[in-house]
Amino acid sequence: GESVGLHLPTLSVQEGDNSIINCAYSNSASDYFIWYKQESGKGPQFIIDIRSNMDKRQGQRVTVLLNKTVKHLSLQIAATQPGDSAVYFCAENIGSGAGSYQLTFGKGTKLSVIP
């Protein structure tokens, strides 16, 4: 089965509020994680990534937190906007060797922003 999963399949938030999307992973050897955003009918768009030697990384309005103790990854979106409505999914790379760039993907969480 998949080693990457999500706690909630759907999330509805009010415009302007902060959103938190969670992801659990089971492979303690994973050393690299990515969050993607996918709008309906489009390809996934890279949002932010984090390596296992970090706990937190910030981008523009987004923050990724990594808790290796409980194998948990979260994506925080500040001041959520209608354009943030999409499916978000995480991916992990177990880093099994040089040139091993295969990712394992979670099923995704659908974020709906209420105007």
Partner 1 sequence: DGGITQSPKYLFRKEGQNVTLSCEQNLNHDAMYWYRQDPGQGLRLIYYSQIVNDFQKGDIAEGYSVSREKKESFPLTVTSAQKNPTAFYLCASSSGDTQYFGPGTRLTVL
101 belongs to the binding site for partner 1 (CB under 8 A): yes
Residues 6+ apart with CB under 8 A from 53: none
Task: Choose, by CB under 8 A, the member of 75, 86, 88, 108 that binds partner 1.
Answer: 108
**Residue 69 belongs to what H/E stretch?**
none
Q: List the one residue out of 80, 77, 84 whose CA is nearest residue 110.
A: 84
Rounded Cα distance, 31 and 20, in Å: 22
42 belongs to the binding site for partner 1 (CB under 8 A): yes
62 belongs to the binding site for partner 1 (CB under 8 A): no
Rounded Cα distance, 58 and 78, in Å: 11
41 belongs to the binding site for partner 1 (CB under 8 A): yes
Smallest distance, partner 1 to C-beta of residue 79, A: 25
CB closer to partner 1, 22 vs 49: 49
CB closer to partner 1, 53 vs 115: 53
109 belongs to the binding site for partner 1 (CB under 8 A): no
43 belongs to the binding site for partner 1 (CB under 8 A): yes
32 belongs to the binding site for partner 1 (CB under 8 A): yes
- Asked whether the CA dihedral 62, 110, 33, 48 is positive or negative, the reply is negative
